[in-house]
Chain A
Amino acid sequence: MQNSFYREIINDHNLRPLHKHMLPRAQRELRGVNPSCGDDITLRLTVRDGVIEEGAYTGDGCAISQASADMMLDLVLGKTTEEALHLADIFLRMIKGGASAEEIGELEEAGSLIDVSHMPARVKCAVLGWHTLQNLLGEE
């Protein structure tokens, strides 16, 4: 994450997150933890007619884990659960180095985390929110 442009995006989402708060009316919530490094988030969603109407997270962890969850919510709010799972799939493949440039474009700002694919130690941090989203929506 040496490219200062990406560093700025991550810092911004980490220090001034839009979606890091409680969601009192959440229908579902799921906690995601990286036991080895201590990243810990709880994702909360409200889904109506197959659309993610509201979403937020709480927790603590490194900047990448928190910023990634914040960007994810930016992206999936207002989308159908199907679209959200499709985007999570692209994100996870991008981190493993297996997504096309066109697909990464669909991720909008979250695509800036592509640098993490070259940083094996940070992969778990970047994917925590997305795995939690997959598990949460997979409960249906």
Chain B
Amino acid sequence: MDVKAVRRDFPLLSGGSSLAYLDNAATAQKPEAVLRAIRDFYETSNANPLRGLYALSQRATDAYEEAREAVRDFIGAGSAEEIIFTRNATESLNLVAYSYGSLLQAGDEIAVSVTEHHSNLLPWQQLAGRTGAVLRWIECDAAGIITEDAFRSALSERTRLVAMAQVSNVLGRENDIRTFARIAHEAGAVFVCDGAQSVPHMPVDVRALGVDFLAFSGHKMCGPMGIGVLYGRRELLEKMPPFLFGGEMIEYVTREGATWAELPHKFEAGTVNAAGAVGLKAAIDYYRAVGFDEIVRREEALSELAYRTLAGIPHLRILGAPEGAEDSAVREGAGAERHGIFSFTLDGVHPHDIAEILSADGIAVRAGHHCAQVLLQHLGVSSAARVSLAFYNTEEEILRLGESLRSVRRRMGYAE
């Protein structure tokens, strides 16, 4: 990959800025092609999709449905009717929790892993509260790994739903979704997969994984903010009630009631974010143009360098690395298996202070609880700093991060 050329595709990364943007798990930067696609939509195709009978509205409808087809192809779904556009992964997961969740009864069990982002935890905790269903926790070990035994022990004959991220937004570890989805199905449960941190960084095929639902956000994969996706298996979507009610999700309305539109429109009430969908398609096209294999290879190489760099810094502890971060003989592959996401603490320095000092050095990282308080409680830390990489990051940026981190304790008033 010609990284210099790739960076020129991103207005925010070119244009003379020296910012090392290492907060990609929060949101990714946008290539010119995505910005142009959004602008083109508004300049040449803007009308309310799915409604008007005139040519312009048809153009808007076509652009929106082409985007749906691009997403279907991108994640290997069987039919475009199984692709529902939402605002983001959070809304996708809430849609499942409210709609599929309404089919649950008191005493049913929902299994959720302790490593989840709040967006794949609170909807289920709330659902349990509403229905009297029981929330069961799938535990991870000190490294953040969920074993098959731990997974099985959280399931019972009453389990109706299992929710789990493919990649943790704190530890970057990948769960064996294919195995877990199979076990969940054997127990009679549906499997909801949060793909927010996986879909942007590895080819994801919903049928190969065997998941029933997959949620992800466009903005974490170079698409615009405000567009997200829910994939759902057709048989399940068909028996689910609508989540939001309003325009363009009905078939027929009388004074007494209504019948619902066909999939996927049943779940897309109100004017849709067509420009956002078009932008997401442009992001998918951009991934293809750069080459997804190339992206994966480059992010693996950057992850290896980042892990070695962080592991060599005194007083720095990488979360989920119980062997000790100062282990100079870092195992090959230990970085790549974190998918570019590293959370860490520095002895005696609050993560907010780490982030502020790095910011002064032109390096953007996240600090806080990363919307995963249950996991942080489990790991025994109250907050952490997080570095997260994307293919357009450079080796030089990672080395700058290392240098800056080495100076933090001194700048916070420690002798060394």
Q: Which residue of A lies closest to B412 (CB)?
A: A11
Residue A122, interface by CB 8 Å: yes
Residue pair A38, B383 in contact (C-beta under 8 Å): yes
Residue B48, interface by CB 8 Å: no
Binds B, one of A23-31, A56-64, A98-106: A56-64
Residue pair A38, B356 in contact (C-beta under 8 Å): no
State how many angstroms separate the Cβ of A12 from the closest Cβ of chain B: 7
Residue pair A8, B413 in contact (C-beta under 8 Å): yes
Q: What band does the interface of chain B fall in when counting residues whose beta carbon is under 8 Å from A? A: 10 to 19
Q: Roughly how many angstroms separate A37 CA and B382 CA in the complex, as a whole number?
A: 9
Q: Roughly how many angstroms separate A122 CA and B360 CA in the complex, as a whole number?
A: 14
Residue B369, interface by CB 8 Å: yes
Residue pair A37, B412 in contact (C-beta under 8 Å): no
State how many angstroms separate the Cβ of A16 from the closest Cβ of chain B: 9
A interface residues, how many (CB within 8 angstroms): 19
Residue pair B414, A15 in contact (C-beta under 8 Å): yes
Q: Roughly how many angstroms separate A1 CA and B414 CA in the complex, as a whole number?
A: 17
Q: Name A22-70 residues within 8 Å CB distance of B.
A: 36-38, 40, 60-64
State how many angstroms separate the Cβ of B377 from the closest Cβ of chain A: 11
Residues on A with beta carbons closer than 8 Å to the beta carbon of B349: 63
Residue from the set B351, B360, B413 with the largest chain A CB neighbour count within 10 Å: B413
State how many angstroms separate the Cβ of B367 from the closest Cβ of chain A: 8
Residues on A with beta carbons closer than 8 Å to the beta carbon of B356: 1, 122
Q: Name B361-377 residues within 8 Å CB distance of A.
A: 367-369
State how many angstroms separate the Cβ of A89 from the closest Cβ of chain B: 26
Q: Roughly how many angstroms separate A7 CA and B352 CA in the complex, as a whole number?
A: 14
Residue pair B411, A38 in contact (C-beta under 8 Å): no
Residue pair A7, B350 in contact (C-beta under 8 Å): no
Residues on B with beta carbons closer than 8 Å to the beta carbon of A61: 350
Residue pair A62, B413 in contact (C-beta under 8 Å): no
Residue pair A37, B413 in contact (C-beta under 8 Å): no
Residue A14, interface by CB 8 Å: yes
Residues on B with beta carbons closer than 8 Å to the beta carbon of A63: 349-350, 353, 412
State how many angstroms separate the Cβ of B283 from the closest Cβ of chain A: 28
Residue A125, interface by CB 8 Å: yes
* Candidates A2, A12, A62; contact of B353 at CB < 8 Å: A62
In the complex with contacts A2-B360, A38-B368, A11-B413 CB distance below 8 A? yes
Q: Roughly how many angstroms separate A15 CA and B353 CA in the complex, as a whole number?
A: 13
Chain B contact surface mostly: mixed
Residues on A with beta carbons closer than 8 Å to the beta carbon of B383: 37-38
* Candidates A2, A8, A12, A62; contact of B350 at CB < 8 Å: A62
Residue pair A125, B352 in contact (C-beta under 8 Å): yes
Binary A-proximity of B332-364 (CB < 8 A = 1, otherwise 0): 000000000000000001111100100010000
Q: Which residue of A lies closest to B411 (CB)?
A: A7
* Candidates A8, A12, A36, A60; contact of B368 at CB < 8 Å: A36
Residues on A with beta carbons closer than 8 Å to the beta carbon of B352: 37, 62, 64, 122, 125
Residues on B with beta carbons closer than 8 Å to the beta carbon of A40: 382
Residue pair A12, B360 in contact (C-beta under 8 Å): no
Binary A-proximity of B227-240 (CB < 8 A = 1, otherwise 0): 00000000000000
Q: Which residue of A lies closest to B383 (CB)?
A: A38
Residues on B with beta carbons closer than 8 Å to the beta carbon of A60: 350, 382
Residues on B with beta carbons closer than 8 Å to the beta carbon of A15: 412-414
Q: Which residue of B lies closest to A13 (CB)?
A: B413
Q: Roughly how many angstroms separate A62 CA and B368 CA in the complex, as a whole number?
A: 10
State how many angstroms separate the Cβ of A90 from the closest Cβ of chain B: 25
Residues on A with beta carbons closer than 8 Å to the beta carbon of B413: 8, 11-12, 14-15
Q: Roughly how many angstroms separate A36 CA and B352 CA in the complex, as a whole number?
A: 12
State how many angstroms separate the Cβ of B197 from the closest Cβ of chain A: 21
Q: Roughly how many angstroms separate A2 CA and B369 CA in the complex, as a whole number?
A: 25
Residues on A with beta carbons closer than 8 Å to the beta carbon of B351: 62
In the complex with contacts A122-B356, A125-B352, A38-B369 CB distance below 8 A? yes
Q: Roughly how many angstroms separate A2 CA and B382 CA in the complex, as a whole number?
A: 26
State how many angstroms separate the Cβ of A97 from the closest Cβ of chain B: 20
Residue from the set A2, A15, A62 with the largest chain B CB neighbour count within 10 Å: A62
Binary A-proximity of B374-416 (CB < 8 A = 1, otherwise 0): 0000000011000000000000000000000000000111100
Q: Roughly how many angstroms separate A64 CA and B367 CA in the complex, as a whole number?
A: 15
Q: Which residue of B lies closest to A16 (CB)?
A: B413
Residue pair B412, A38 in contact (C-beta under 8 Å): no
Q: Which residue of B lies closest to A37 (CB)?
A: B368
Q: Which residue of B lies closest to A125 (CB)?
A: B352
**21 A–B pairs (Cβ distance < 8 Å), ordered by A:** A1-B356, A2-B360, A7-B411, A8-B413, A11-B413, A15-B413, A37-B368, A37-B369, A37-B383, A38-B382, A38-B383, A60-B350, A61-B350, A62-B350, A62-B351, A63-B350, A63-B353, A64-B352, A64-B353, A122-B352, A122-B356
Using a CB–CB cutoff of 8 Å, the interface residues on chain A facing chain B are: 1-2, 7-8, 11-12, 14-15, 36-38, 40, 60-64, 122, 125
In the complex, besides A15-B413, A64-B352, 8 extra interface pairs with C-beta distance below 8 angstroms are A14-B412, A14-B413, A38-B382, A38-B383, A40-B382, A122-B352, A122-B356, A125-B352
